[in-house]
């Protein structure tokens, strides 16, 4: 066995073969100084206002929860009528394209919402933030699009229920996760967030209100909504799958040491049985997550729901990771590299939101000393700073700096290519830690914007099943190594290279991120057929901006918007090569 292991290592790339190119030193300017000391502004302005904002939102959520089901449903119906009325008042010849009235800086994603700088016709959806119903019998949660993850787990977890996929950050909303992209450690079972939705309530361009499911007359709309960025209609409610859960998560931390291909294999083995028995709950954990801390070290975590009685048995360790003074979760997990594999029990809701307090590891760049014990005890209760406030107060120069000197990207790659993706990131960006989270990409009756590799079911690769190909989110969030060393780094060029690698390897880039794709390459990465068909069938063309143009980087003038939309009225979308 050891001989075979030595042979396997001899055929894997050496780290010396993966060294990033040498880069010249970069001259620093005023913006570097402002970024370096931005923590002063964050501590004395952003954190206090964030805490106040969170408190007011919490009071609003409590007030909403105190209303009866009938009252919430009545308010919902009235608000939908307001949206319909507003849409019908629009004059297509005089008014701009339709979009929400939400301010650009409120969005959690890093992409600049520059399309709103052009003339547009606003529709206010700010009232749609109620949990309408928790149906225990059907195991469905019916919610409005501005309900966020913190709000819904606060209601469901005490009932021993949960959404099948709960995105980690509290602020992420149902609408954003459906129209864009959402993932969590349970996605290796349930797929992406949108895969857990059973029905959408949509207001179409002509003011019709329809309920789309996978097997009714609006099934084409049902399959086209995910990844469409709200360009097919206004989502006003969604029915989402619930699952039974227990009070605790029994989490096992397993360290792996080796080269990047070894780390990738250790990650695959943590949740994907080599015998292909991927649907066996005895072999597949409830939750999976991996963190690669360096080119040679990673920690992979697997979780299973556990009862309160089990967690409190003598000898078991309970870790309340949600307390403000606790070490940041990614740093706590890293301790497994020194002390070896260990197991602990984490309250379920605290586990769901384990990365909220430090925004994964972005908090280290925002507040360089935020992870220190003294800061956590004194001011940790103010964390995290609200992303929207950070964006609103950063200014144009700092925003451009982050786009050039910072990377916040997710690479959705087939599971068997994870090792290659890790090597690519190391060579081109040198960013650590790297987040790994698996998810199923289901084989659907129609070809949607994202889809499995053709013929994957015949390959019998680790993690795949006949009905779904296993993918992995390779989360790349931090300042690249060259930037930290003061070297020249072209962030836009690095993203362009990453996007071409993704296209070549049948992989995808979530649209919340800053993209350098032109229209041709956008539709090489994504499939346009269903989206184009639905967009024309339900009158979205000429009313809502196309998903490519909405995602496109850079400012949009009124003229550019009109010309681009007119092109879509006259011709088909750019075809993939």
Coil vs helix vs strand at 326: coil
Q: How far is CA 193 from CA 112, 190, 207, 213, 242, in A?
A: 23, 8, 27, 15, 12
**What pLDDT score was predicted for residue 2?**
39
pLDDT at 556: 58
How far CA 71 is from CA of 42, 46, 66, 284, 371, in Å, comes to 40, 35, 10, 42, 44
Vertex 358, ends 356 and 359: CA angle to 5°? Answer: 60
Q: What pLDDT does residue 34 have?
A: 81
**Interior angle at CA 468, CA 299 and CA 170, nearest 5:** 50
Alpha helices in 192-253 (DSSP H): 219-224
pLDDT of residue 8: 39
Query: Is 413:421 a contact under the CB 8 Å cutoff?
Result: yes
Return d(Cα 64, Cα 126) in angstroms, integer: 14
447 C-beta neighbours (distance < 10 Å), count: 14
DSSP H or E stretch at residue 484: helix 481-484
For the chain, the maximum distance between any two Cα atoms, rounded to a whole number of angstroms, is: 75
Distances (CA, A) of 394 to 378, 391, 402, 490: 25, 5, 10, 20
155 neighbors 134 (Cβ within 8 angstroms): yes
Give me the count of residues in the chain: 577
User: What was the pLDDT predicted at 576?
Assistant: 39
Please state, in angstroms and rounded to a whole number, the distance separating the CA atoms of residues 343 and 415: 26
Q: What is the pTM of this model?
A: 0.90
87 touches 207 (CB < 8 A):
yes
pLDDT in the model for residue 117: 55
DSSP 185: T
Structure tokens at 436: 């790994």
pLDDT in tens, the chain (577 residues): 434 444 334 334 444 456 666 677 888 888 878 888 888 889 999 999 999 989 998 898 888 888 888 999 999 999 999 999 999 999 887 887 888 877 655 565 555 555 555 557 889 999 999 999 999 999 999 999 999 999 999 999 999 999 999 998 888 999 999 998 999 999 999 999 999 999 999 999 999 999 999 999 999 999 999 999 999 999 999 999 999 999 999 999 999 999 999 999 999 999 999 999 999 999 999 999 999 999 999 999 999 999 999 999 999 999 999 999 999 999 999 999 999 999 999 999 999 999 999 989 988 988 999 999 999 999 999 999 988 888 777 777 777 787 788 899 999 999 999 999 999 999 999 999 999 999 999 999 999 999 999 999 999 999 999 999 999 999 999 999 999 888 889 888 999 999 999 999 999 999 888 889 988 999 999 999 999 999 999 999 888 888 888 887 766 555 666 666 666 555 544 443 4
pLDDT at site 522: 94
Tokens describing residue 300: 């992979």
């Amino acid at each position: 066995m050891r001989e075979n292991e030595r042979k396997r290592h001899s055929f894997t790339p050496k780290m010396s073969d993966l060294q990033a190119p040498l880069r010249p030193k970069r001259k620093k300017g005023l913006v570097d100084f402002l970024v370096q000391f931005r923590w002063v502004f964050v501590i004395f302005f952003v954190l206090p206002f964030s805490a106040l904002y969170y408190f007011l939102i919490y009071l609003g959520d409590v007030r909403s929860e105190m209303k009866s089901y009938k009252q919430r449903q009545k308010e919902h119906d009235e608000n939908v009528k307001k949206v319909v009325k507003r849409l019908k008042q629009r004059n297509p010849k005089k008014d701009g394209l339709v979009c929400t009235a939400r301010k650009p800086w409120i969005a959690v994603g890093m992409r600049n919402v520059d399309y709103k700088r052009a003339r547009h016709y606003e529709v206010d959806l700010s009232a749609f933030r109620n949990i309408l119903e928790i149906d225990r019998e059907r195991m469905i949660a019916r919610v409005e699009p501005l309900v966020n993850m913190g709000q819904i787990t606060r209601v469901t977890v005490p009932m021993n229920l949960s959404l099948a996929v709960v995105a980690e950050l509290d602020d992420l909303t149902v609408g954003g996760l459906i129209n864009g992209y959402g993932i969590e450690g349970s996605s290796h079972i349930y797929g992406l967030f949108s895969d857990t939705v059973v029905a959408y309530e949509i207001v179409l361009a002509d003011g019709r209100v329809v309920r789309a499911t996978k097997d009714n007359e609006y099934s084409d709309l049902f399959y086209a909504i995910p990844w469409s960025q709200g360009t097919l209609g206004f989502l006003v409610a969604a029915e989402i799958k619930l699952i039974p859960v227990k009070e605790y998560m029994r989490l096992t931390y397993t360290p792996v040491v080796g080269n990047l291909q070894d780390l990738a294999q250790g990650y695959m083995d943590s949740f994907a049985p080599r015998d292909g028995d991927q649907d066996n709950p005895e072999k597949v954990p409830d939750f999976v997550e991996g963190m690669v801390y360096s080119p040679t070290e990673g920690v992979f975590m697997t979780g299973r729901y556990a009862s309160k009685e089990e967690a409190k048995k003598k000898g078991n360790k309970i870790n309340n990771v949600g307390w403000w003074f606790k070490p940041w979760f990614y740093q706590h997990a890293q301790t497994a590299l020194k002390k070896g594999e260990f197991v602990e029990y984490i309250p379920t809701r605290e586990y769901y939101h384990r990365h909220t307090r430090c925004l994964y590891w972005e908090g280290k760049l925002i507040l360089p000393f935020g992870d220190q014990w003294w800061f956590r005890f004194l001011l940790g209760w103010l964390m995290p700073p609200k992303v929207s406030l950070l964006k609103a107060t950063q200014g144009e120069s700092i925003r451009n700096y982050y786009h050039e000197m910072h990377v916040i990207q997710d690479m959705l790659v087939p599971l068997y290519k994870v090792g290659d993706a890790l090597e690519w990131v190391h060579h081109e960006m040198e960013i650590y830690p790297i987040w790994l989270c698996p998810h199923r990409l289901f084989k659907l009756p129609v070809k949607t914007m994202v889809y499995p590799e053709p013929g994957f079911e015949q390959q019998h690769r680790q993690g795949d099943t006949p009905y779904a190909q296993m993918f992995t989110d390779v989360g790349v969030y931090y300042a690249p190594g060259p930037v930290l060393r003061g070297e020249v780094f072209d962030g836009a060029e690095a993203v362009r290279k990453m996007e071409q690698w993704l296209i070549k390897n049948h992989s995808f880039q979530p649209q919340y991120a800053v993209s350098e794709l032109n229209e041709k390459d956008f539709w090489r990465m994504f499939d346009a057929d269903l989206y184009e068909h639905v967009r024309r069938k339900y009158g979205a063309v000429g009313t809502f901006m196309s998903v490519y143009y909405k995602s496109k980087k850079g400012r949009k003038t009124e003229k550019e918007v009109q010309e681009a939309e007119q092109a879509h009225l006259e011709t088909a979308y750019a075809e993939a090569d």
